Structure 1
Amino acid sequence: MPTLRIVKLKLLLESLVSESREGFNNHKAQRDKLQDERKSLWGKESALIAEIDKLRAEVEKAEKSLDHATPGDVRRGLNSIRRICRDYKINGVFGPIIELLDCDEKFFTAVEVTAGNRVKAPRVTYPQSSDVIPLLKKLKFSPNFTPAFAQVFARTVICRDLDVATRVARTDNLDCITLEGDQVSKKGGMTGGFYDHRRSKLKFMNIIMQNTKSINLKEEELEKKITERVTEQQKIDAKRSHDRSELEQLKQDIANANKQKQFISKALEKKGKSLADVRTQIDQLKGSMAMKQAEMGTELIDHLSPEEKDLLSRLNPEIADLKEKHIACRTDRIETETRKAELETNLTTNLKRRKQELEAIISSAETDLLYGEADLKRQELTDAKSLVEALEDNYERTLQDEAKELEQLLSKRNALQAKQEEFSNKIRELGPLSSDAFETYKRKSIKELHKMLHRCNEQLQQFSHVNKKALDQYVNFTEQREELQKRQAELDAGDEKIRELISVLDQRKDESIERTFKGVARHFEKYSLNLCKVSFTGQGETQSMKQLSGGQKTVVALTLIFAIQRCDPAPFYLFDEIDAALDPQYRTAVGNMIRRLADMANTQFITTTFRSELVKVADKIYGVTHKNRVSRVNVVSKEDALDFIEHDQSHNAD
């Protein structure tokens, strides 16, 4: 019977272990599922962060566009106001008008043009017409800002077209504006024209506000999800810790049950052996007692021999002892059976109750594990907890006492180190000491040192009026003087080099000017021989420029230009009807000169003319015609150009 119960207990424990392992496998599977879900949530979080970064990039782009569309002084003023309000924490500043309003996109142009006005807004009566709409009614803003918006937009109405705007401005004394941005002032002035909608400040601000709002919503959503995940993670961690403790307790209970089962099995085995021996002895005693009683029932004492009587007298005490042993064995047997029953009852009752508790724990355990855990653990036993807590309390008290003592020692050490540092500083302030100074005072007592220190302090009081920092100041000023002298030497050397450079540059400048002047004079004299008789150096007969005709002045100017061109050629020259005041022989000479210069150097001459002399020497000719208020430029042949000029000259002559 005891063996059967032990087998049942063993099977029960194995069943509990199997159920625990099955629960662990379920926990592991659900943990893997939760890890996959966590990876999916990480992906969603990354997508939200990427979307927020994209919106921030759009906001930054819109802010840059808004900065480019806003005048620099206005932008700097707004930034300064924001910085001042932020630094000095000034309340009541809500921002510029553009950040406080919202309206339909079709009114953006009208609002931006009107916002340039800054007039005081009295009570206004608007005309009742379907062609006229007060601009203020199309704006969306907080009622708290009504006075500010009324000051800017109250006296402005939106009109269907420019004619309606002109009529309303004249009759109702209001500023009018069209959706295209054409503005009619109540004073009669009109402004308008092309307005670049791509640089609309309201459009950029609308993009900034919408994207900023989207970013805030996305960040709030992301923050909410992060908070939820953190909360869930904390719950899971708490649950995981609880499950660890539960399983640790379960393992500990199973181990204790196994140990108890082994101990009970061994005890029962020993008791069984002892019981079998006792029963054997009891059976033997019973047989012996039966034999003795049978013998005692017969009156054979008289027939016994003296030896047998003597044996009987010796056996009677032994029989009494055996009876006592028999009674003791029965008592031990009863106690053993009672102990066995108690152990079986205790074992069965505890294991059943523990089995029910473990089944309740396993059935109610949540599988919200996020991290790989190879084994689940359970809380330690209550008595172990109590012991640990007691040890921890004792350790904590000991630690606190030692910490206090250590803190006192540290404070004392810090104070001594501070004093040591203070004394070291004072020693350094005294200046360098002799090598035997420490050896001299090392063997003296503290009392003697205090007396010596007191005498030294009394002697120092006699020199209290002496400037103790004079030597340091002298050294400092000496170093500054040397540094300044060094800098003065460097500056003197730099000044000398700069003066040398200026002298060289002046010399080169004079040489360059003289060389250029001589070159221009030489070429001027050369070209003047071909065009007209003039002198660049003042030699020969001189005449005032006022005495020259217009053609002669033109020839002299062209000669100077050609002379400069030979000295410093330019890529191209543009002449606008330079031959208009020239005589035919001069026009021919100028044309030949231009032709010759164009062939000699890599220089292009572009001229406009109505004369044939310059046309004849040209490489390419363009004709400019004007028809229906449109000018056209076409390449024409030299013959067509000459025919056009001859026809024009004959037409002018008629």
Structure 2
Amino acid sequence: MSPGDHGAQVEQLNAQLKTLETEQAELAKFQAADKERRSLEYTIYDREMSQTRDKLAQVEEERKKEADQGGEVQDRLVQARASLKALDRQLKQATAAGTDLAKQVDEANRAKKALVTRSAQAHVSLSEVLDRQRSSTQTQERCEKELQQLEGDIEAQQAVVDTALQALNDQEQRTSDNAAELTRCRKRLQDIYEKQGRSARFASEAERDAWVNKEVKGLQKVLSTKQAALTEAERGVATCNAALLQQRQVTGAKETTYKEKQAEVGACEQQLTALTQRRDALMDQRKAMWRENEEVQARLHELLDTKKRYEKQMDSAMPWDVRRGLEAMRRLVTQHAISGVYGTLIDLLDVLQQLYTAVEVVAGNQLFQVVVDSDETASRISQLLVREKAGRLTFIPLNRLQPRNTEYPTTWGSDALPLIQHIKFDAKLDPRLPLAFQQVFGKTMLCKDLDTATQVMRQAHMDSVTIQGEQAFKKGTLKGGYLDPTRSRLEASKRLQAIGRDLEGINAQDEDIRQRQAAVEQEMWRVLSDRQKAEARLDHLKGIVQLHKDAVQGARQAEAAAQAQAQGAAQRVTGLQANVQEQQGSIQELKAELGTSLLAQLSASEQQDFTDLNPRLKQLQEEADGMQEALLQAQTAHAEASTRLSSDLLLRQQRLQDDLAAADLPGLEAELAERQAEEAAAKAALAEGQGRAQELEAKAGEGRASLSELKGQIEQLKEQLATGDQSVQDEAKRMEALMAKRSALQAKRGDLEHKIRDLGTLPADAFQKYREESLPALHKRLTKTQAKLKTFGHVNKKALDQFQSFTDQRADLERRLKENDRGEEKIKELIGTLDLRKDEAIERTFRGVAANFREIFAALAPQGRGELVMHRRPQAERDSARDGDDSVVEKYSGVGVKVSFGAGETLVMKQLSGGQKTLVALALIFAIQRCDPAPFYLFDEIDAALDPQYRTTVAAMIAAQATDEHNPAQFIITTFHPQLILKADTVYGVSHTNRVSRVDVVTREDALEFVQSEEQHEGQGQATQ
């Protein structure tokens, strides 16, 4: 409003004031009646106001009760929904666990059946071994008894053989003596016959002697031959006896080796039994660890699923770039070994669960700010994040924190306490750590309710928060509403921390199980390898034992053969000795005949010998016949005894010994121990399997019961929710009715307040004058007063008020007129200053843009130049404009462009072609960009009207600007020409299929091929046209 308008208003008010002064006389009478009316109306209105206030207080009290009850119902509903959600998760987990338990029960039952079969097989095997042991024991007892009896028979039969042999030797000696005597007698008789015939045969003694000498020589040669044969036979006897002795030693050695190998077989069987038992024990350990590992893996998967759910909740509760920044920060801190990073506020603080909502609403996204020791650490991490384009973080460097000391009010006692007192943290990380929490939470009070929070906000001028998350800011604003406690970020963070600790324990347990499994597997492989070696060695030893057994039998047979050969050699020696003696006797008789007289008659002694020899020969022959028969009987007896000994008793002894060896009681004992161990292991495994099956059945039963209980609880909660929802609806209806009633009462109160305000200034006695009268009496008085006031209908009832009002308005207008005059001077002064600053800013910006334009145009159009020209208004035009109505006169009228493309002629925009105008426009855009850079630019086919050479320079300019060290920018360009494609970092192709557009990354070669095909297609189209 101009000063002239203010003056006109002041003159108009003075005229109205003069008119009102003439009406004051009648107004005095009217005012007296009007004062009475207003006093009565005020008293009536005040009574009604008191009643309305009482009703409002009553309604407000009922509303508060309903609100409290509704809040309790809402709290119960929230808790019920949270419980229902938790029970749903438990139900899913219990269902999954029940399914797993059912599978485990089936597996346990199948394993139990297999163990029953295994136990039965082990029992059958043990029974078979026991039967074989009993049979072998009986066989051993029988064989030992028979052997004991047989040994006596063999000893007795050996004595019989020895006796028969001695009798045979004696008879052979007697027979030999008889045969020698018979031979001697016959020889003597033959010699007598020959001597008796030599008297007729030889003519002289000399002739006889010559024949005797010749005969002696022949006999001596025969004797020498027989003596040599006898010597050879005696050496043969010695050799046979030595061979027999050696063979007996070999047989003994082989029997010893055979027994040693049998002992080795027994030891190997015992070792195999021990290894089998160890194998079974390791297999049981491995199965137990498998079951333990399954339980650990199930727990691990459950924790990982829960962790994933809370991580998803945390991801949705924080900005995307902050989440990326936190993930990258954790990786970079580990990768670059950065110290002094303490973590986010949400990870560092600890608070009661009831205060989660209050802490979250106060801190907001500050919960994800990272506390570091210094700004250097924050700067280093920030640089790494920027370099990798890995999100955004806000840091709290402790060395930069200097929070002010806050004096907390104590007026409200425990109803309002500093929030920082309820927050716990580990100050051992850094003594300055409390500063971070003081900065975030130090200026907020925790109040019991919103009313207390509002009082603290108004009186102490501090931010306040309630446990429910309602906030009262010191600037006077309130903030609140329903907050879903199931989406609490603090709850998710603490759960994630707890899950992390549980995962560490589970992973450690899993690693321990893996190590123990590896050790058991290694031990298992070692035992299996040793057992396989033991089995191979046992088979090898059994083969060796069989070979040694065969060798022992062969040695015994060889010993018997050697003994028979030795006996034959001894008999041959005996025969040769008799022949030698006979030859020696013949030689002696012939030598005795030498030198004797050649007589025709025998001598008396010879005749006597001749007479005695015949009966003697007959006697000897008879004796020889008897001796031959006795010798045959002795040989028969010896042969029968020897045959019974060797072919019966000794063979039976060998067979019994073989049966004893075949019984293999040590091996059976080892096998029995192994089978007993197997049966015990099978029984233990069966008992364990039955116990596990029963345990799993019990767990399954408990799971089914728990599942049924969970379903029942869920149904109860659903019923509670349904009831609660109905209660909420009922509460809402009652609240709506109360609110409607309160609104009506408030409207009535407002109407009464308005009526009281309309009464204006009341008389001094108006507040007490009619206080004791009843409302009917007041209304009666008011009726009379109103009738009296009607007589003053022609009076200007508001003359006094208007007079006072106009007087006040006049004073206010005069004051405002002075203020406007002072303000006008200040505004003109400010406009001059701002015009000067504007002109300076325009000149400075123009100079920067013009310099960039010259540089960029020269780069885009080689051998060309361009200038920006500022057009200024003439001074006369500016002066004439100031004399007019416009108070603002622009100094500049615009900007012009003058360019030259190398031809020497300077052109303006009107003289340029479309492609040249586009080039100039791009140069101007790039020039402005250098003065005021932006992070990215979007160009749509800016090279469509450019010549190929300018497309190349524009592409080079954009590429240089994109990689500029000081102001790098991102350019997103659509084009159908190859020049920009050759300079682009990434090329995208837009395709349209089934009315759906898709953008995909394509290779530069595909893009160039597409552009060339488009150009060829356009060329063909133009050629066709």
Superposition TM-score tier, normalisation by shorter sequence? 0.3 to 0.5
- The structure whose residues are more often helix, as a share, is 2
What TM-score do you get using the length of structure 2 for normalisation?
0.27
Q: Which has the larger radius of gyration?
A: 2
What TM-score do you get using the length of structure 1 for normalisation?
0.41
- Which structure has more RCO (C-alpha within 8 Å, separation ≥ 6)? 2
